[in-house]
């Protein structure tokens, strides 16, 4: 018996990385999964590979009609929507505030923040009809603290997602609809390759390289993996989390917990040596 038996779930950005792993694990946990993305060939291949109870729909979360069609179509086909995982994302312009390209920045915000807003907007009426539902938004530790992203635009958009999560949770909670977020840390996906200019499969292929480098970024000595986030999404989508609302679940191996112990001890020793030398 799966934790999501009988539930209908929508996962945006499901053709790679965290989204793809979540599609796979949601299916194993018994959900009917409708997943979306902009890459139609990859989406069709995934649907064919996974088979039963997995359906792909091409959709761009920055286009309102696409989001509405995805959500309304799922509700019409299966009679309900129990879970929405607003996962779709992507890179944002890097560099100084003085040099950032405004148009590209707003395009990124349209995906990173706008896609989440539109998902909540259009799924809420369907969940209100049955007076239940779980909305999960993909945040980031970069939304909590500056300096954890290659892009200040990305960081700012994710901060907005966290606040939108809390705000929507306070409204929709009155209809027994839970709205929570997950903030991944250094997770090995293709997003780092995309941030540095790679596209499509070439970016996805950098995930293993990223994993080797990111393993040193937090106290737990490994990189975060897509399944770490997917399993958290299972929990937030399941009835096990029925009294959790307006919460953000940070999954980062302790990265934002504070200064790393070993590095701190090394600086203390250096400070002590400097004092002794002065005396």
Q: Report the 10 Å Cβ neighbour count for 272.
A: 10
Residue 104: predicted pLDDT: 97
Residue 276: predicted pLDDT: 86
The whole-number average pLDDT for the span 144-154 is 95
Least confident of 38-52, 108-122, 184-198: 184-198
Q: What is the mean pLDDT of the chain?
A: 93
What is the per-residue pLDDT across 207-231, written as a single tens digit (0 to 9) for each? Answer: 667 667 777 888 999 989 999 999 9
User: In sequence order, what are the residues at sequence separation of 6 or more whose Cβ sits closer than 8 angstroms to the Cβ of residue 15?
Assistant: 35, 37, 38, 39, 42, 43, 46, 56
Least confident of 83-92, 183-192, 235-244: 183-192
Class of domain 8-278: alpha beta
The whole-number average pLDDT for the span 189-204 is 57
The yes-or-no answer on residue 55 being catalytic is: no
**Alpha carbon distance 149, 197 (integer Å):** 15
Q: DSSP letter at 171?
A: H
**Alpha carbon distance 37, 181 (integer Å):** 20
What is the per-residue pLDDT across 255-264, written as a single tens digit (0 to 9) for each? Answer: 999 988 888 8
Nearest to 169 by CA among 218, 215, 106, 120: 120
| pTM of this structure | 0.91
Residue 238: predicted pLDDT: 98
């Amino acid at each position: 018996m799966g934790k999501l038996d009988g539930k209908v779930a929508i996962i945006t950005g499901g053709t790679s990385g965290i989204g793809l792993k979540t599609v796979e694990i949601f299916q194993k946990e018994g959900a009917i999964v409708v997943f979306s993305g902009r890459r139609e060939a990859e989406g069709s291949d995934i649907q064919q590979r996974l088979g039963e109870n997995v359906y792909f729909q091409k959709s761009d979360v920055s286009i309102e009609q696409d989001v509405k069609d995805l959500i309304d179509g799922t509700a019409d086909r299966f009679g309900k929507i129990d879970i929405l995982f607003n996962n779709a994302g992507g890179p944002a312009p890097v560099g100084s505030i003085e040099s950032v390209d405004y148009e590209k920045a707003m395009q990124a915000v349209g995906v990173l923040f706008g896609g989440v807003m539109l998902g909540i907007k259009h799924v809420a009426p369907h969940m209100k009809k049955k007076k239940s539902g779980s909305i999960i938004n993909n945040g980031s530790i970069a939304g909590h603290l500056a300096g954890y992203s290659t892009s200040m635009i990305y960081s700012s958009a994710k901060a907005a997602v966290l606040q939108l999560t809390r705000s929507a949770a306070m409204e929709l909670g009155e209809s027994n609809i839970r709205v929570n977020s997950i903030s991944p840390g250094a997770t090995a996906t293709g997003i780092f390759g995309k941030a540095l200019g790679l596209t499509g499969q070439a970016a996805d292929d950098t995930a293993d390289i990223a994993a080797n480098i990111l393993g040193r970024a937090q106290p737990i000595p490994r990189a975060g993996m897509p399944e770490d986030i997917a399993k958290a999404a299972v929990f937030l989508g399941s009835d096990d989390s029925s009294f959790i609302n307006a919460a953000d679940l940070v999954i980062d191996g302790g990265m934002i917990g504070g200064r790393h112990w070993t590095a701190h001890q090394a600086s203390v020793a250096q400070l002590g040596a400097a004092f002794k030398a002065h005396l």
